[in-house]
Structure 1
Amino acid sequence: MVSSLLVEALSSPTDVLNDLYEYQDKTALGDFPQTVTKHFSDIFRTDEAFSEIPALTTARSLSSYRDRALVRFRAMVQDTSPAPEMYLSKLKSGKCGGWGLFDTLKGDGKEEELDYADLRDCTVAWAVSVPGESEWYAKSLDGECDGTDGPVQEPPRSHKFPIPKEPHIGVQIKIYNVLGNDTPKTAEVLNFVGILTSEPLHTESDVSIDVPTLHVLFTRQHTLGITSGVDTVRVVDEPVPNSEDRRQDLINWIAEEALGGDLDAAEWVLLTCIARVQSRTRSLHPPSLTLSHFPSASTSTSTPTPTLSHVLALLLPLSLSVHLSLDLLNRVPFVPESKDEDLHSGLLQLSPGTTIVINESGVQEGQLIERGVLNVLAVQNVMTSQTLSYKFPFSEFSFPTDVNFIVLSQGSKSALWKTDFTLPLDSPTSNEFYKTASEIRLPPAETLAAFRQLIVSAKTGKIEVGESTSQHIQDEFVQERKADSSVSSDDLKQAISVARLIGLSMQEKEVNIKVWERAKELEKRRKARFA
C-alpha cells in the first residue's frame, strides 16, 4: 500500500513544507530545518520509496520538470567555496521562508523593515553529474528515463564540469539544515533530494544569471556498488559463488576482447581497477600501471579510443578514457582553479573510485608550455600521493583523491610518468586493441552482471594479512635482503599490496600463503618480460 505521505511529498513538496511549518512549535522554529530533514528522509527511507522520486539525468531536459518539483540528484560536489546565503526564515505573511519560498519586501511603495531575528544562513554549493559514470550503472540507480520534451539544453557554467564537452547537469545547491562536520566536501558524491527551481546565481559578481537551483530537503549517502533497480550490483559479506571460476572468466574476457589474449595484462588491469586508498597515514595508495608496447591506432581506425576503455566502461561504475595529446596537455586544465571567485574544474577533479585510462599514442613531437608541464606534474602527484591541488589567487590547497591510473604507452615505459608497475604487452600486433563499442563481443547478460558484482565486491571489500602469513613474508624478506641488498622495504610494501588485491579479487578475507605465492608468481612473470 502506497503511503499518503509519500504521494503528497511527490505531488507537492511545497504544500508539505508549509503544513510542517504551520504545525511546528513556534518556540522551536530554529530547529525547523532539522524537522524538515527528518520528515522527508523518513518518508523516503526505503529504497523502494526513494526510487519513486524523479531523478535528474542527462537524458531529460531540466525544462521538462515542473516548477518546484521534488527531484533527486546524484551528484559530485564541485565547488563549496561560495559564501553562505542569508534568507528570511519567516515571511511577512507569517508563512515559511527558505527553500525558495519568499515574498516581496515592499508594501504601499515603501520598503518594509526586516526582522533580523528571522534571518538564517544556508550553505550554497555547486554540484554536477558524476563524471565518468557508466551508462549501465546510472540506469541501475535511476531506472529508464521516459524521454525528454526536446534536445537537452547546454548546461550553464559548463566550465565547472571536469570533462570538456561532455553532456552533464550542473545545479546550484542550497542546504538549510546546519550540518556541521557533515557539510558536503569537494569531489564527494551524494544524493541530494529537494525542490527544483530556477534562481539567480549566488555570487559576488554584479552580473546576475538564472541557474537551476535545488533546495535540499535531505541528503542520502551514496555508496559505490549499492544500487537499486533491474541491473542490481549489491555488496554482500558472503563470498561470490564460484568466485575463482568467475574471476578467471573475467580475466579471459578482458584479455580476449581488449588485450590480444594477454592474460597477465588482463589480470594486472583487474588488480589496478579494484585498488583503492587503504591508508593515507601509511601511504597505502592504489598502484598505478603502465601497459607498454601498446600499439597505436592505425590510420584506418575510426576511433582512437582503445577497446580496453570500452570494456572497462562495461565493467566499472566509474571510468574515464583520456586520449592524450600535446594540444590537450597545453590547453585543457587538469587541476581546479579559481578565477574571479569562481572555481573552474579540472580534468582530475573526479569522485573516489574512478579509473582513468590514459592513451599516450596521440602525443607527438612538440613543445609543452607552462600549463602542459603543470598538468603532467599534477597527474604524477595524484598517482604518487593521491592528492590534487586546487589553485586560488593567493593560495593553493590539496584535497584527497582516490583515483586509479592505467597508462597505455607505445614505448618501453610511459613517456611522461613514473608508475608503480610497468608490464610489456605479450602480443602487441593484435588488431583487437582498437574496436568500437558495438564490435565488442559481450558475454551473456547474467555473466556480465556477475563480473560487475565481483569487481565492486572486491573494490569495496576488506582483507587482512594472516599472522602466520605475515611471519612467513617477513622471513622471506630477510632472506631476500641477504641475497640481494637492493631489495627495499618499498618492494615489500608493493608485493603485499599486490597480494591484497589478488586476495580481494578471489573474494578472500585473509591473505594466506596460497595468495602470497600467486602474487610472487605474477610479479616474477612480469619481471621476466623485461628479459
Structure 2
Amino acid sequence: MPLTSCMFNVAIYASVSEQIGALSLGDVASGAAPERFPFPATEHTAVIIKRHLMEANELSVADMVEVIGVLGSKEHLPVDDYAPSEDAAAFPTIHAIIVRKISDHGHPDLDHDGPKEADVDQVRQSTQQTREALIDYLSAPLYGDKLAAELVLLHLLARIHTRSNGLVLGKFSLNLKEPTVRSAAFPILSQALGSILPKFYALPLSLKTLNDHFFFPRGGEGLSSGILQVTKGTSLLLDETAMEEGTLNDKGVKNVKAIADLSVYQTLGYVFPFNNLDISTDVSLLIVSSGSSLIPVDCSLKLKHIVGEPTIQEVAESRLVEFRKYLSVLRMAEYKFSEEMAQEIETEFMQQRKEASAKGTPLMTPNELAFNVGLARLVSLSRGDLTLTREAWTHAKDLAAQIRSRSNGSSQ
C-alpha cells in the first residue's frame, strides 16, 4: 500500500515526549519547524510520521494519537509541504505500524478510549473530600475566594456533550475579573493549574503577542499552526491584564475574533488561500481581566479578596495525583439527565414566571434557565453524581444567585 506522511510536534505532551526521547530523538534541534508547533518560543521535538493510508475520517487535525513504529533515518519535510533547501533541518522519521487516537482526557494512566467504570467507581469513593480539598487548593491563588475557586473547578469539568443546529451545550468559558490593573493571580493560578492538568497552556495577552503571532492555523503548501490549534480537552488560561495601550493590527483583530469564536462556538477557523474551514473543537477557556473581558464568555465573576495576596498551597504529590484523576475521570464520565428532574425543573420555571408576572418582578429567561441547568450538571459531576439530584439543582441555583449578587455589588 502507498505511504502517506505527516509531521508531528510531540513535545506538547510530556508522556509522549518522554517515550519519543527513549528512541534517541533528543538530538533534534529545539524549536525545529516552529511553523508546525502552536506555541511560540517553546521547546519541542519534531518528527515525521510515515503511515499506510487509512480511512479519510480516521484522523483529523489536532487529534491526539499514539504511534508505534520503527525509527528511521532523518529526512527533510516532503516537497509538497515545504521544499527543502540545502540548509533545511532534517527530522527523524517513524515508520508507523500502529496509529490510534487517544481520548481527549490526556491522562496517562487512563485507557486510550477514556475512563472505565472501575475508574469512575474509584474516584466516586472519595469525591466529597477531593472536591473540598481541590476548592481549597484553587482558592489560594484567587485571594482565598471560595466561590471563584468552585467556579474554576466546574469550569475544569466542563466539556461539550451536544452540538445541534449551531447550539453548543456543555462548554463553560469563565472570566475572572480583578480590581487591579495587572493581575497578581495569573502567574500563581497558572502554576496551580499546571500542576493538576495534563494539557494546559497559559498566555499573557499582550498587544505584541496579539499583533505578532497567529492564533489560528493557515494553509498554503503546508499547514502552519496557530496558538489555538490544540487538542480537545486542553485548558487555556489567558491574561488580558497584560495588554498595553496601543492599536491592534489586522492580525491582532483576527486573533481576538478567533478567541471569541472559540469561546462562543467552540470552533477554530483554518485559513486557506481560497477558502476557510471552521473545525469543531472543545477547549476550556479561562480569562483573567481587570474589567469585563474583550471575549464573550459563559460566566464572569468579580474576584473577592479574602486574603491579601495570591499564594500556592503546598500539598503532597499524592494529593495532586488524586486531583488529576478526579478531574480527568469526572469530566469524561457519562452523565444522564433524568426525566423526573427535567419535569420538576420545567414546572418550577413556569411557576416562577407566573409568580414574577403577578408581582411585577423580572421573569427568569430561558437563557438563565439554561445556564442554571448547565451549572447543575457540573455541580452533580463535581460531587460524583452521574445524574442530576435535587441537592445539586438547589446548589446550582444558589451559585447563580451568588454570581448575580457579586456582579451587582463590590468585589472588595
TM-score, scaled relative to structure 2: 0.87
The answer to which structure, 1 or 2, has the higher relative contact order (CA under 8 A, 6+ apart) is 2
Structure number with larger C-alpha Rg: 1
Q: Is the 8 A contact 2:269 2:278 kept in 1?
A: yes
Residue 255 of structure 1: aligned partner: 139
Residue 185 of structure 1: aligned partner: 60
The one of 12, 28, 47 aligned to 1:171: 47
Q: Is the 8 A contact 2:178 2:302 kept in 1?
A: yes
Structure 2's unaligned 5+ residue stretches are none
- How much is the aligned-residue C-alpha RMSD, in angstroms? 2.7
Q: Deviation per CA, 1:87-137, whole angstroms, max 9, x where unpaired? A: xxxxxxxxxxxxxxxxxxxxxxxxxxxxxxxxx422222212263x4x5xx
Structure 1's unaligned 5+ residue stretches are 1-119, 434-439
Partner Cα separation in structure 2 for residue 244 and residue 280 of structure 1: 31
Query: Are 2:5 and 1:124 aligned?
Result: yes
Q: Deviation per CA, 1:220-239, whole angstroms, max 9, x where unpaired? A: 3323255349xxx9651315
Q: Is the 8 A contact 1:234 1:453 kept in 2?
A: no
Query: Are 2:336 and 1:464 aligned?
Result: yes
Q: Deviation per CA, 1:401-432, whole angstroms, max 9, x where unpaired? A: 10011110112x11x11111111011087321
Query: Are 2:305 and 1:427 aligned?
Result: yes
Would you say how many aligned residue pairs link Structure 1 and Structure 2? 389
Q: CA deviation at 1:206?
A: 4.7
> Which one-letter code corresponds to 2:66 in the other structure?
N
The one of 173, 180, 200 aligned to 2:76: 200
Partner Cα separation in structure 2 for residue 185 and residue 150 of structure 1: 27
CA 1:490 to 1:445, structure 2 compared with 1: closer, same or farther past 3 Å? Answer: same
Query: Are 2:159 and 1:279 aligned?
Result: no
Q: Is the 8 A contact 2:218 2:224 kept in 1?
A: yes
> Which one-letter code corresponds to 1:403 in the other structure?
V
Partner Cα separation in structure 2 for residue 329 and residue 453 of structure 1: 34
TM-score, scaled relative to structure 1: 0.68
Partner Cα separation in structure 1 for residue 274 and residue 151 of structure 2: 42
User: Secondary structure of 1:237's partner?
Assistant: helix
The one of 454, 477, 480 aligned to 2:352: 480
> Which one-letter code corresponds to 2:240 in the other structure?
E
Q: Is the 8 A contact 1:335 1:375 kept in 2?
A: yes
Residue 237 of structure 1: aligned partner: 120
> Which one-letter code corresponds to 2:4 in the other structure?
T
Query: Are 2:153 and 1:270 aligned?
Result: yes
Q: CA deviation at 1:488?
A: 2.4
Residue 54 of structure 1: aligned partner: none
The one of 385, 401, 405 aligned to 1:524: 401
Give the share of equivalent positions with the same residue, in percent.
29
CA 1:168 to 1:227, structure 2 compared with 1: closer, same or farther past 3 Å? Answer: same
Q: CA deviation at 1:286?
A: 0.9
Partner Cα separation in structure 2 for residue 360 and residue 201 of structure 1: 37
Q: Is the 8 A contact 1:469 1:511 kept in 2?
A: yes
Partner Cα separation in structure 1 for residue 57 and residue 191 of structure 2: 36
Q: CA deviation at 1:214?
A: 1.6
Query: Are 2:390 and 1:513 aligned?
Result: yes
Residue 213 of structure 2: aligned partner: 332
Residue 342 of structure 1: aligned partner: 222
Partner Cα separation in structure 1 for residue 179 and residue 380 of structure 2: 28
